[in-house]
Chain A
Amino acid sequence: MSATTAGRTPSAVAREARGGGVLPWLALPALLAFVAFAVIPLVGVLLLSFTSWDTLGEIKLTGFESWRAVLTDPGLPHALWVTFLITVLSWAVQTPSSILIGVFLAGRQRYRELLAVLYFIPLLLSSAAIAITFKALLDPNFGLGAGLHIDLLTQDWLGEPSLAMGVVIFVVSWQFIPFHSLLYQGGVRQIPRSLYEAAELDGAGRVRVFFNITLPQLKYTIITSSTLMIVGSLTFFDLIFVLTEGGPSDATRALALDMYKRGFQANLMGQACVIGVILVIVGLALALLLRRLGGRNPNASQLEGA
């Protein structure tokens, strides 16, 4: 200690000592919560995946039996495909809309502030409430289309596989675009004014400014928002469960639903845990990939003076 700090000013020594002594303590509560609520359950899930358990009786060690059952089940590739579709489609719908709305709401005009407040209302509603509402509106016999006698709206929305998938994407987007717009609004407001002033002096038009300044400057916001969206849609459950229960037949049965159905309806907890492990692996891989896409140093700031 004394050897390394020799020759420094007293204040530097004090700062280092504080940094070394206090900072780990600050991380402790978060670390404890992480171990208690993430690491331990994860280990539990991994262990259970090597057992057979009907949730009622004894837990029996069965080695790779559950893994074999899940990996040879044609339901798994299907569930992976459905999850992939939901992830990609909801990302493709949400990201452009969120960026545009976020940029629009970043303006400081009064009416935009008002719109921003109105626009965030879906965020305040629970997924189950949203799902029940849309389900009632889309009912082919008692819903909006039947009530207003509009044939275009009177479809078997949740009974046709492709329509049901479309409805799921639409409702997910309806619910989460406000949240991501909020991220982008914050991101846009942090872009230094000077960049826009310089562009204005150079005579760049609005479209040019958007593509050459706003969008590149939002790079890290896009990565953050995409990570949340993609990892979030992997575990998407409540809304789909209430809306379609994975149906019609298994058209919207994503991995998370498959996991629930196996674990809690078919009483095959071992197999459900296998799917849980697969979800964790896919989620981690995607999150890592997205961080890589963000460049070498994702913590580097683009802000003025940093």
Chain B
Amino acid sequence: MGLPLGAALAACGTSGPAPSGGGAGAGASGSGTKATYWFLQGPPGEAPRTAAVKRFNQANPNGQIAITTIQNDAYKTKIKTAIGAGQAPTIIWGWGGGGLRSYVQAGQVEDLTSWFDQNAAVKDRLFPSSFGAATIDGKIYAMPCETVQPIVLFYNKKVFEQVGVQPPQSYGDILDLVKKFNAKGIAPFSLGGQSRWTNMMWLEFLFDRIGGSEVFQAVFDGEKDAWNNPASIEGLTKMQELIKANAFVKGFSSITADSNADQALLYTGKAAMMLHGSWSYGIQQAQGGDFVPSGGLGWMNFPPVDGGKGDPSDTVGNPGQYLSISSKASPEQKEIAKKFFANGLLDDQEQKDWVGTGGVPIVKGSDKLFAGSKDAEFLNFIYGVASNAKVFAQSWDQALSPTAAEVLLDNIAKLFQLSISPQQFATNMNAVIGK
């Protein structure tokens, strides 16, 4: 009990938390060396992560891990600052992709390629798709962990019943539903627009369904003027049409996803649908009272756009979470971290814990664990989406470099505010391609 509480208190400080036990003084006795590990606070992930570390620490009294939990939006800044200052934790939790690339370029994280070669079993039991975002220029710099998190279209079945409509089978259906729900005074879609990446999920699907996964792939590959692709302009234009048709809840640009107010709109029936990461299931279950248990929550993959080229099985989101090892950590700390990756991480109990939060572990065959779970229906759906997707694209802001991602999020906010046109968006974004 003492460990999580202490970690939570440490996370309240505004300055970088000192790695407890990681300093030179604590290591004097030899057996007192601790690896440090920072990760995100709050449901659904904090409990399974904390429990996994606790079990590892009990099994390894001589090589322990000290954890610090940090709130989502603050974490991204804090971890960067800590890494830049040479104060990184031993184990760096992250989303892979562009952020990981910047750590690699700065020489701040360990190359794990040879370790994975020596420990093939560790690699082979995980979803192959999870390694894409851990691989930079052909080398693996992170251990994929935790759960697959595709973006899902959630809907409130009770509201659909009340209005007497069916879930959308195409983008055209979405436009019809927008009119019907607005006529009944119910917001068609909930959206936590102030967080910006929430808006981005819409563009990710519109781009994919209209022009296929290669539209964003061209941006990622640094092709000149990739945002000028007609499919991209069409997606941006459709986006603004939706906003003008009042598809999103009133005041969406002042709602943050961190406070979970966007999900509250869905489970209180103030909004009918919401595009959100699969982790939202766990949050709605924890906070929505009997909404999820009573079968109020529906879910589906984003429907196809009429005449679009994209494969409707494609999905986007987080193909996993990622743990890297700081190159600044001591050899003992690195050893502890590797031991944790091989033996502690995603053990049977942790997989069960993740399943318990409504998550699908990135372990092959983890669907066996779903039997008997009250969430089996949702978990099987996510397992199916993740394993059947022709392309499981990484979220744009994670795939791009932090510099380009900030420009992207900034322009998305402006696009949703209708203060720039689709072409202006494309021009602004073309300017940072490859940066």
Contact = CB atoms under 8 A, between A and B. Distances in A.
Interface string A243-273: 0110111100000000001001111100000
B83 A141 contact: no
A260 to B, nearest CB: 9
Nearest to B80: A55
A248 B261 contact: no
Contacts of B417: 161, 247-249
Interface string B136-157: 0000000000000000000000
The interface size bin for chain B is: 35 or more
B406 A265 contact: yes
Contacts of A265: 76-77, 402, 406
Interface of A: 54-58, 135, 138-142, 156-159, 161, 164, 244-245, 247-250, 261, 264-268
A147 to B, nearest CB: 13
Interface string B71-114: 00000110011011000000000000000001101111000000
5 contacts: A156-B253, A158-B251, A158-B253, A159-B251, A248-B194
B105 A141 contact: no
A108 B414 CA distance: 53
A57 B403 CA distance: 14
B194 A267 contact: no
A56 B254 contact: no
Contacts, number: 99
Contacts of B103: 56
Interface of B: 76-77, 80-81, 83-84, 102-103, 105-108, 193-194, 249-255, 261, 264-265, 270, 401-403, 405-407, 410, 413-414, 416-417, 419
B81 A159 contact: no
A167 B105 CA distance: 42
Best-buried of A138, A142, A157, A248 by chain B (most CB within 10 Å): A248
Contacts of B410: 249-250, 261
A92 B102 CA distance: 45
Nearest to B14: A128
Contact of A142 (B77, B252, B264, B419): B264
A242 B76 CA distance: 16
Nearest to B84: A55
Given A54-B102, A141-B251, A265-B76, 19 more contacts: A56-B80, A56-B103, A57-B107, A58-B106, A139-B255, A140-B250, A141-B250, A142-B264, A158-B251, A159-B193, A247-B417, A248-B413, A249-B253, A249-B414, A250-B410, A264-B77, A265-B77, A266-B403, A266-B407
